[in-house]
Structure 1
Amino acid sequence: MKKKATDFLLMTFGTVLVSVGTYFFKFPNHFSFGGVSGLSVVLGQAFPFLSPGAWNTIFSLLFLVLGFVFLDRGFGFKTVYCSLLFAGLTQGLEYIFPLAGPLTDQKMLELIFAAALPAVGSAILFNIDASSGGTDILAMIMRKFTRLNIGKALLLSDAVIALSALFVFDIQTGLYSIVGLVMKSFLVDMVIENINMKKSFTIVTTHPEEVCEFINKNLHRGATIWQAKGAFTDKPHWVILSVMSRMQAAALRNYVKNADAHAFMLISNATTIVGKGFREM
């Protein structure tokens, strides 16, 4: 229940970030980075009888219906919830905070927020196996019925939507959209890596009992230990392997330095850890 509650809060927070970045920064500046929101920006200009928020709602619900028709239970509550929340928030913000134009006259500043907020929100959602729907649902359908490379197909469609801004709006807006698409792609990967960043310890020590006890009892982490021999001194040593969070890593590093002044520590970043206490298989 605790994990479900945490996932629910993260889904809500991530979707709110995507919605705020989309409505306050993408829509008024006509930035089209791809996806449903980018397509909505283009259609809002080409067919102005509906606002970008309305087009966003229509396509979000359309893809949601397609998901129910073509996908099985793996479609999942998370995607349904985030998709409906994203459509509802974006549409609701139009009525609560109507915008006549961009918030500032600094287009590059707004581009940064237009890319960063949805990127962080999307990264949070992707990290808990959720998404805000839209073209992600289309990707799920394509993956089920075709052998296409889904990542490349989505990137190509996003690029086409971004390039369309060159013709629907102007050269400047189109170029900003292309830059925004590249920024968002890098930011999503960067944020996911930082969310999952752990510290991997390889410790060579002559005091294995004290170090393992600190890891087990104080940090509540596990460790693997094996005996080794120094190549130069020919004396016995023990090698301890453990993985933990960055805050725990700082505590362990300080403890080992005080407990064994001659210990050797190899500390590296790890972003993919599979096993008990971390990501399940």
Structure 2
Amino acid sequence: MPKYSEFFALQKTKMCIFTQPIDHIMNNVLRYLGTFKFWKELFIMTLGMAIAAAAVYYFMIPSKLVLGSISGLSIVISNLFGLAGINLKVSVVVTAINAILLILAWFLIGKEFGAKTVYTALILGPLLEFWEKVMPYDKLIEPGMNSVMGEPLLDLICFVLVVSISQTILFHINASTGGLDILAKIVNKYLHFDIGVSVTVAGAIICCTAFTINPFRMVVIGLVGTWMNGLAIDYFTASINKRKRVCIISKDYERLRDYIINTLHRGCSLYEVKGGYSGEVNVEIQALLTQDEFANLMNLIRTEKIEAFITAGNVSEIYGLWNDQKSRKGRSRM
């Protein structure tokens, strides 16, 4: 009997050791589900995907535009099955292809990106069905027209503008619309291309498949649209990430330094500079600020009538500890 007791005790110990990591993971997941950040990002992802689904349903599907996206590839596959007498919805093809690409996202990009993209990719198909039930595109197409806008180029411009906004919103919170955005993100991460360039390269390959269902003119329009999509993403991304590099020369530099560090919670650098004409020695402050922070700083200078020489330029990319330092300073003051 003692031997059996020892055996079961050993098995129980092994089971406890095995379940501890699972319990730890579940506790972390449940803790994250209760945070404001989770619900905020969930709302942003849902909104972004609703915008993307509307762009696909109202502009891409009716005009049979094949741009560099999984939706474009899905249209090709759906039409090929239609020629064979098989009715296969675009939404079904989108969901199936996304499920395959999600595995790549999980292992090659990261768990956070993978988990978010799982959600965005899986809701694209249902959101296409949602727009179909809410407002079928047939009701928006005027008699004698084949698409909502009635002209492939106009459909292309509308699609690119709307879907680029959606992609930019999702990339900003480390998510994506799924599909070829996953491949673009992989290229961006490992080859360090701009995300817009990555989208263009990956999308151009898909555009070539449109030869099977569209005339040459439509394929060229699709390639142009893919290129425009990449440019639009880079533009919107740069606008969201835009920061101000501010250089200030003033005798009241201590007041400005104190405001930047203790009120804006940003770092700054001090340089001793000498005027080329007057030979006067002054102190220059340099700082990287958001648009709102720069506006607050300028308001302080105007309100307190601080005499200063100020230059400011836009910076679209920042690497390093810029945001981390602000987070730590903010927490230390709470």
* TM-score normalized with structure 1 length: 0.82
**Maintained 8 Å contact 1:60/1:87:** no
Judged with a 3 Å threshold, the aligned counterparts in structure 2 of structure 1 residues 167 and 84 are, in CA distance, closer, same or farther, namely: closer
**Maintained 8 Å contact 1:53/1:94:** no
- Given residue 79 of structure 1, which amino acid in structure 2 is its aligned partner? T
Q: Is 1:17 the counterpart of 2:55 in the alignment?
A: no
Counterpart residue number, 2:29: none
Judged with a 3 Å threshold, the aligned counterparts in structure 2 of structure 1 residues 61 and 87 are, in CA distance, closer, same or farther, namely: farther
Q: Secondary structure at the match of 1:132?
A: coil
Give CA-to-partner distance per residue, 1:141-194, whole Å, 9 cap, x none: 8999x99x9988874552232233344122332232122111101001111110
Deviation at 1:68, TM superposition (A): 6.3
Counterpart among 141, 150, 153 of residue 108 in structure 1:
153
Counting only pairs closer than 5 Å after superposition, residues 26-105 of structure 1 correspond to structure 2 as: 26-48=60-82, 49-64=87-102, 73=111, 76-100=114-138, 102-105=147-150
- Given residue 253 of structure 1, which amino acid in structure 2 is its aligned partner? M
Counting only pairs closer than 5 Å after superposition, residues 222-241 of structure 1 correspond to structure 2 as: 222-241=267-286
Counterpart among 201, 210, 213 of residue 165 in structure 1:
210
Counting only pairs closer than 5 Å after superposition, residues 63-212 of structure 1 correspond to structure 2 as: 63-64=101-102, 73=111, 76-100=114-138, 102-137=147-182, 155-212=200-257
CA distance in structure 2 between the partners assigned to 1:23 and 1:197 by the alignment: 32
Q: Secondary structure at the match of 2:282?
A: strand
CA distance in structure 1 between the partners assigned to 2:324 and 2:148 by the alignment: 41
Counterpart among 242, 245, 250 of residue 287 in structure 2:
242
Q: Which has the larger radius of gyration?
A: 2
- Given residue 215 of structure 2, which amino acid in structure 1 is its aligned partner? D
**Maintained 8 Å contact 2:164/2:233:** yes
CA distance in structure 2 between the partners assigned to 1:42 and 1:96 by the alignment: 25
CA distance in structure 2 between the partners assigned to 1:19 and 1:40 by the alignment: 13
CA distance in structure 2 between the partners assigned to 1:119 and 1:140 by the alignment: 15
- More helix by percentage: 2
**Maintained 8 Å contact 1:197/1:245:** yes
The answer to which of 52-61 and 68-77 deviates more is 68-77
- Given residue 11 of structure 1, which amino acid in structure 2 is its aligned partner? M
Give CA-to-partner distance per residue, 1:4-52, whole Å, 9 cap, x none: 4433332222222211111111111111112211101212222221122
Q: Secondary structure at the match of 1:16?
A: helix
Equivalent pairs, count: 277
**Maintained 8 Å contact 1:205/1:264:** yes
Counterpart residue number, 2:40: 6
Give the gaps of 5 or more residues in structure 2.
1-34, 142-146, 326-334
CA distance in structure 2 between the partners assigned to 1:259 and 1:153 by the alignment: 48
CA distance in structure 2 between the partners assigned to 1:71 and 1:248 by the alignment: 32
Counterpart residue number, 1:278: 323
The answer to which of 242-251 and 28-37 deviates more is 242-251
The answer to which of 57-66 and 17-26 deviates more is 57-66
CA distance in structure 1 between the partners assigned to 2:232 and 2:324 by the alignment: 22
Judged with a 3 Å threshold, the aligned counterparts in structure 2 of structure 1 residues 32 and 245 are, in CA distance, closer, same or farther, namely: same
CA distance in structure 1 between the partners assigned to 2:272 and 2:38 by the alignment: 41
Q: Secondary structure at the match of 2:137?
A: coil
CA distance in structure 2 between the partners assigned to 1:279 and 1:90 by the alignment: 38
CA distance in structure 2 between the partners assigned to 1:72 and 1:244 by the alignment: 29
User: What is the RMSD of the two structures over their aligned residues, measured on CA atoms?
Assistant: 3.4
CA distance in structure 2 between the partners assigned to 1:132 and 1:177 by the alignment: 19
**Maintained 8 Å contact 2:113/2:175:** no
Give CA-to-partner distance per residue, 1:181-231, whole Å, 9 cap, x none: 111010011111100001110111111123224434554444332433333
CA distance in structure 1 between the partners assigned to 2:68 and 2:115 by the alignment: 24
Deviation at 1:56, TM superposition (A): 1.5
Judged with a 3 Å threshold, the aligned counterparts in structure 2 of structure 1 residues 138 and 105 are, in CA distance, closer, same or farther, namely: closer
Q: Higher RCO, 1 or 2 (CA under 8 Å, sep at least 6)? A: 1
CA distance in structure 1 between the partners assigned to 2:290 and 2:188 by the alignment: 34
Judged with a 3 Å threshold, the aligned counterparts in structure 2 of structure 1 residues 66 and 34 are, in CA distance, closer, same or farther, namely: same
